[in-house]
Structure 1
Amino acid sequence: MSRLNEVKQRNTFEARYEKLYTLGKGNFGKVYLAEDRKSGQQYAVKVVDKKLFKSGDQKQHAQREQMICETFASGLNHKHIAQVHEVLTENDSIYVVMEYVEGGELFDKIKQSKGLAEPTARRWFRELIEAVEYIHDHNIVHRDLKPENVLIDKTQSIKLCDFGFGNVVREQHEVLSTYCGSPFYAAPEMVTATPYRGPPVDLWSCGVILYAMLTGSLPFQGDEMPQLFQKISRGQYTIPSYVTRDASDLIQRLLCRDASERITAKDCLLHPWLMPPTMTRCSLFTSSQLTLSSRLTNFSNRKKVGVFSEGSSLSMTTLHESTAKATSLHTTVCSTLTSEKKLMRTSRFFKRIFKKKSQVAPLMDHHDEKRLIKSRFIGRFKGFFKSSFQKRIT
């Protein structure tokens, strides 16, 4: 290849697109609003900077995201998934050129309204599950489903985006062992470092999203990470009494601790709460909507959370502070642990999550092992505690 052609290839993106301004920041780069120089069409462009990779795991996540986006660009398409236009690789950057969705994030909609009216929550959640069913049918798992990764377009429909922690599995029952995603939305099998199947992990996250939609709060919360993980591993949460019976039932089927019994996306779409409204259900809308004005819950006090990933330190995006106070909740605990063995998994998680590929800690003296675990835990999570859990109510 001639020197001239090399230069042309390196400058393909800049030659075809003009960056207008920054839309947001990602873990390994930024998202820009860009305009096609010929057509004038606007796109959202995620620019992944390879120079920011600090581990092989981070590089692997970026490669997987590139592969998934290339798959979407070459033919996969769904009305509730942000469409990928093309993927370009130049020098040390990966450019993912995708549909620009103007309406903002589901996170902001929930925060602004302190919970959504049930008809709106039902419609958006059904659209989300349709998107999740589509990727699962094509052997793709997302592994970082959260309201920040669900966009609202100008027609008030949802668009799923950001496959930064996605993966392509050979079959639905393939077992995975990379622990990644966002802590508040992570499934029990993820926080206990148990080999897991991808689709059930996604459905658990959908359950957390549905809970947030209907209550304006998160089901699992803690002032420190071990406390949060313990609640998740136990399935320890409550559903407010104003959530209707069918909606509560769907939340419980999604937030089922046993991944093998957790509802699938396909079955979720057949659940009574997501079926066309009946006269009985319509009569419940009024009472559920009346509770919105009194729901001052602590979802709006939660800053956007970063992600955790095997072999990499946690990162946080500092956004949105609020003065809202939490409401009292009525207890309906989904389930409890059935053995002490599973209670110990949370502590083993901290030994395993930072070991690349290895699932077994090396043999060492008991006191040395405790000191090693403590030092790794404090070193990795110190910054996360500082940015994620302080000043939630200001």
Structure 2
Amino acid sequence: MPSSSSSPTSSTSPSLSSSSPTRKNPYQVIRELGSGLQGRVVLAFDEHERRYVAIKLPSVFETAASNGHNAVDLRLLDYQVQSIVQERRALRFVGSHPNVLQYVRMVPGSKMNQSYVALVTEYASNGDLFDLIADTGAFDEDLAKFYFAQLLSDQFTMKLCDFGLATVVAPSRGEHVDQIVLRDVSGTGLYMAPEISRTTPYRATPTDLWSAGVVLFIMLTGFPPFQEAARDDHWYECVVQGEMDKLWEAQCDVAEMLSADARDMIAGLLCSNADKRLTIADCFAHPWMQDVDMVDRKWVVEEMTARRLVALNASATI
């Protein structure tokens, strides 16, 4: 793990308002961590706090420059800025939850005569869960139980991130969170529950449980249950129709390695009927989760450290 007490060898900041640390902008950008429709995330070093942070900022400036343009797509810039603002709102709403990336601050910036904001959060130094699975293979059931629905930090505690499309829900007086109804159609295609794409309102909480089912499937098998949450995807249609057996038959080698309880847990989460889908309470009461407290944390750290080394060695040889 990088030491937070020493300054890294850093590059100048490509999109923050200052290329050298100042009281307003003390960040030295080191490298890009990822990029997508909602923006790009870079690793930076905070010269004042002497620690690494992650910064999410619009990617339209780099896109314009790479295409030889002197102006940016203003609609995309507005979308990315609004996404960053929404992510800040969601992170501040959640607060100091141990399994959510911690919000640090919002930083203003300007480039190509356009103003924007960047979101500074804590840095999860061990990277992305699914990248690790892609490099080292599926998790065994004990490891999957321990990490169910989280994202890695430096002690291999899972941290959830990327809340740009999140909807903040606050129950009214006397209302339970499970009763909150949404109407918007947004999210990452692979993880969207069937009811989101319909034209009728849907309850918020069950959609998150469907997404958790997709995450659990990937952790236990090393690949997603389907390519896209669309009716023309054969395996998605099998899942929606409650025909998980067909999916397991097609992946018999994987299915044989999973316990019946694990397969039942996945089926309960990937239930197309939101009213019959497992709830959070159901998950913790499920037979598959009953020995989760018995998983040895020391073993988890050792196992994940070994996997991390394998992944780093693999990337070094490319």
Counterpart position of 2:311: none
> Which of 38, 48, 66 pairs up with 2:58?
48
Q: Does the alignment pair 1:263 with 2:278?
A: yes
How far 1:63 moved relative to its partner?
3.8
SS at match of 2:87: helix
Structure 1 letter corresponding to 2:87: E
Counterpart position of 1:116: 139
Q: 1:89 to 1:236 in 2, by over 3 A?
A: farther
Alpha-carbon separation, structure 1, partners of 2:101 and 2:160: 6
Alpha-carbon separation, structure 2, partners of 1:155 and 1:105: 14
User: How much identity, in percent, do the aligned residues show?
Assistant: 33
Unaligned runs of 5+ in 2: 1-16, 61-71, 172-176, 249-254, 296-314
SS at match of 1:151: coil
> Which of 130, 148, 152 pairs up with 1:107?
130
Counterpart position of 1:339: none
CA contact 1:212–1:218 (8 Å) conserved in 2 = yes
Alpha-carbon separation, structure 1, partners of 2:187 and 2:203: 14
Q: Does the alignment pair 1:95 with 2:102?
A: no
How far 1:214 moved relative to its partner?
1.2
Counterpart position of 1:178: 184
CA contact 1:65–1:163 (8 Å) conserved in 2 = yes
> Which of 208, 217, 223 pairs up with 1:211?
217
CA contact 2:33–2:41 (8 Å) conserved in 1 = yes
How far 1:224 moved relative to its partner?
8.0
Counterpart position of 1:163: 163
Alpha-carbon separation, structure 2, partners of 1:28 and 1:217: 24
CA contact 1:103–1:156 (8 Å) conserved in 2 = yes
Alpha-carbon separation, structure 2, partners of 1:186 and 1:28: 17
Counterpart position of 1:200: 206
Alpha-carbon separation, structure 2, partners of 1:52 and 1:198: 32
1:77-112 CA distances to partner (integer Å, 9 max, x unpaired)?
121211111223445322211111111211122222
CA contact 1:61–1:166 (8 Å) conserved in 2 = no
CA contact 2:189–2:228 (8 Å) conserved in 1 = no
Count of aligned pairs: 247
Structure 1 letter corresponding to 2:170: R
Normalised to the residue count of structure 1, the TM-score between the two structures is 0.55
SS at match of 2:86: helix
Normalised to the residue count of structure 2, the TM-score between the two structures is 0.67
Q: 1:274 to 1:185 in 2, by over 3 A?
A: same
SS at match of 1:199: helix
Question: How big is the alpha-carbon RMSD for the aligned residues of Structure 1 and Structure 2?
Answer: 3.3
Structure 1 letter corresponding to 2:195: E
1:167-219 CA distances to partner (integer Å, 9 max, x unpaired)?
11233222222222222222111233442222111110110111111122322
SS at match of 1:165: coil
Alpha-carbon separation, structure 1, partners of 2:289 and 2:74: 41
Counterpart position of 2:44: 34
Alpha-carbon separation, structure 2, partners of 1:253 and 1:223: 17
SS at match of 2:121: strand
Alpha-carbon separation, structure 2, partners of 1:160 and 1:249: 25
SS at match of 1:86: strand
Alpha-carbon separation, structure 1, partners of 2:144 and 2:103: 26
CA contact 1:207–1:255 (8 Å) conserved in 2 = yes
SS at match of 1:184: helix
